[in-house]
Structure formats: C-alpha cells, structure tokens
C-alpha cells in the first residue's frame, strides 16, 4: 500500500490526455474464500475517495464496482489484489488474480450466468451480476483472462 505524488500513468486507462499527477495509489490483497473480510477493501476505497472530495455519485459507482470486484476475487480466484489509482482526471480500479481464468468471457459478462456455489448464493451473491455491475459503473471497462494465468479487470471512472 502506498501513497505518492509522483506522476505516473493510470494503468490500462488509455485515451484522455496522458499521465497527470497521481493523487493516490493503493493496493489491497484479497484472499480466496475470506468472506468475513469481503467488502472491507471497497469500504476503504469509498472512504478514501470521499476524503479526496470526489462527488458522491462517482464515489458510489467506484465503491460498488470495487465491492463486486472484491466479491469476485473472494469467490472465484485463487488469490489476487484490487488496486486503486486516482489522478486528477480519473479513478482506476484494477482487479488482478492468478487464476484459474475465465474460459468464456462473453458468457461471464452475461447477466444471470454464474459458476458460484450454493454457499455463495446464500450470501446474496453469485447471481451472475458481478461483471455486468462493474461494467455498469464504469466509463471504461476492460477484461482480459488467460486460462491458468489469471484475469485482469480494469474499471475507469472519469472525474470531472
């Protein structure tokens, strides 16, 4: 976890006007099946964005996307991390994991499709809404997955 004022590009963002001063850059490790802690990173992200004075609508969208990403990592991945980068123009959330990978991304993006267990469904998740919800909250959404290597989901929310 780090904070810095050094200019660096917001990874995977692209477009816009290149790199601007990074206000904050943090990484939260997410542990598989740690349901008790799931949501803690999203709550911290929400708190940090609020403290930066970002408008409540954008904070909420980022928090919802972060929470869905966090739940996905806890439910499906064999360990990973959620990172937050904020610069003057955008909020970038990046979910990275080490596997198992998504065999069919178009299927995973379909609302209602899920490979989650009954245990997860009993917690109110696993209804195939995670990735679609993340996309719904984003201005820019990208997902790349390789079987055995892992998945990277990038969510960019523009800050006016």
Partner 1 sequence: MKLGEIKKLIGAEILAGEDKLSVLEIDTACGADLMSDVLAFTHENTLLCTGLTSAQVVRTAEVAGLSGIIFVRGKRPSDDVIALARERGIPLMATCLPLFETCGVLYGAGISGTYIREQHGPSPASGV
Query: Is 160 near partner 1 (CB under 8 A)?
Result: yes
Instruction: Name the nearest CA neighbour of 88 among 137, 40, 52, 63.
Output: 52
- Tell me, what DSSP letter sits at residue 155? E
Instruction: Tell me how far, at minimum, the Cβ of 37 lies from partner 1, in Å.
Output: 9
Query: Is 28 near partner 1 (CB under 8 A)?
Result: no
Touching partner 1, residues 35-54 (CB under 8 A): 35-36, 38-40, 42-43, 46
Instruction: Tell me how far, at minimum, the Cβ of 134 lies from partner 1, in Å.
Output: 10
Instruction: Tell me how far, at minimum, the Cβ of 62 lies from partner 1, in Å.
Output: 10
Query: Is 61 near partner 1 (CB under 8 A)?
Result: yes
149: its two tokens: 């290597």
Q: Are 81 and 50 in contact (CB under 8 A)?
A: no
Q: What count of other Cβ atoms lies within 10 Å of the Cβ of residue 25? A: 20
């Amino acid at each position: 976890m780090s904070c810095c004022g050094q200019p660096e590009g917001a990874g995977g963002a692209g477009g816009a006007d290149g790199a601007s001063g990074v206000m904050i850059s943090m990484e939260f490790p997410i542990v598989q099946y740690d349901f008790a802690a799931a949501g803690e990173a999203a709550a911290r992200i929400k708190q940090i964005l609020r403290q930066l004075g970002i408008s409540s609508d954008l904070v909420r969208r980022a928090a919802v996307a972060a929470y869905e990403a966090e739940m996905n990592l806890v439910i499906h991945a064999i360990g990973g991390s959620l990172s937050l980068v904020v610069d003057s123009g955008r909020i970038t959330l990046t979910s990275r994991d080490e596997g198992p990978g998504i065999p069919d991304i178009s299927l995973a993006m379909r609302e209602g499709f899920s490979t989650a267990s009954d245990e997860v469904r009993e917690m109110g998740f696993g209804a195939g809404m995670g990735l679609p919800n993340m996309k719904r909250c984003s201005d820019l959404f990208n997902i790349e997955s390789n079987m055995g290597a892992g998945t990277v989901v990038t969510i960019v929310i523009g800050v006016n």
